[in-house]
């Protein structure tokens, strides 16, 4: 239920984030803050929608209002699109993308998600990105 990053344009390179267990407990607050700042800078410079932003030491979760907002992220940033199984008439779509490289070479994983009612219209680009 996802697209191979090589089959869709964008900036995804297959980089996997550092697992949370590898972040020392004393550095988790600092890592969370660094990730939040990096994603807020991306949002400020691109004007992508991000009404809900939840940072963590290993990634930042962004929840957008609808599939059109997720499509803007996908078209601008690229990445992988995953879709959940239907539950109570709703599917969750998740875009996994990253910020640009920082001065130290690191990037922050960004997971952009939204809920879509079963049977609702989805942009062809997103529908094509989700293997069913």
pLDDT value for 20: 55
46 inside domain: yes
69 inside domain: yes
The number of folded domains in the chain is: 1
pLDDT value for 22: 61
Terminal CA-CA length for the chain:
5
82 inside domain: yes
59 inside domain: yes
Q: Give the structural domain span for 112.
A: 18-129
- What residues contact 11, with CB distance under 8 A and at least 6 apart? 77, 78, 79, 97, 98, 100
pLDDT value for 17: 55
d(CA 91, CA 49): 20
8 inside domain: no
Question: Do strands 60-63 and 52-55 pair parallel, antiparallel, or not at all (unpaired)?
Answer: antiparallel
> CB-hemisphere CA count at 13 Å for 7?
11
Q: List the chain pLDDT tens, one digit each, 132 residues.
A: 444 444 444 444 444 555 555 656 678 889 899 999 999 999 999 999 999 999 999 999 999 999 999 999 999 998 889 999 999 999 999 999 999 998 889 999 999 999 999 989 888 888 777 744
4 inside domain: no
pLDDT value for 129: 72
Q: What is the pTM of this model?
A: 0.77
pLDDT value for 28: 83
Supply the Cα-derived Rg of the chain in whole angstroms: 15
């Amino acid at each position: 239920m996802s697209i191979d990053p090589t089959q869709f344009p964008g900036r995804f390179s297959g980089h996997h984030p550092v697992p949370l267990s590898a972040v020392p407990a004393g550095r988790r607050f600092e890592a969370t803050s660094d990730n939040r700042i990096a994603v807020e800078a991306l949002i400020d410079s691109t004007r992508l929608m991000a009404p809900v932003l939840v940072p963590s030491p290993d990634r930042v979760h962004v929840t957008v209002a609808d599939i059109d907002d997720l499509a803007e992220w996908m078209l601008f940033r690229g990445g992988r699109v995953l879709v959940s199984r239907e539950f109570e008439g709703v599917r969750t779509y998740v875009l996994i993308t990253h910020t640009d490289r920082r001065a130290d070479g690191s990037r922050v994983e960004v997971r952009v998600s939204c809920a879509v009612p079963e049977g609702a219209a989805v942009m062809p680009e997103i529908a094509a990105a989700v293997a069913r």
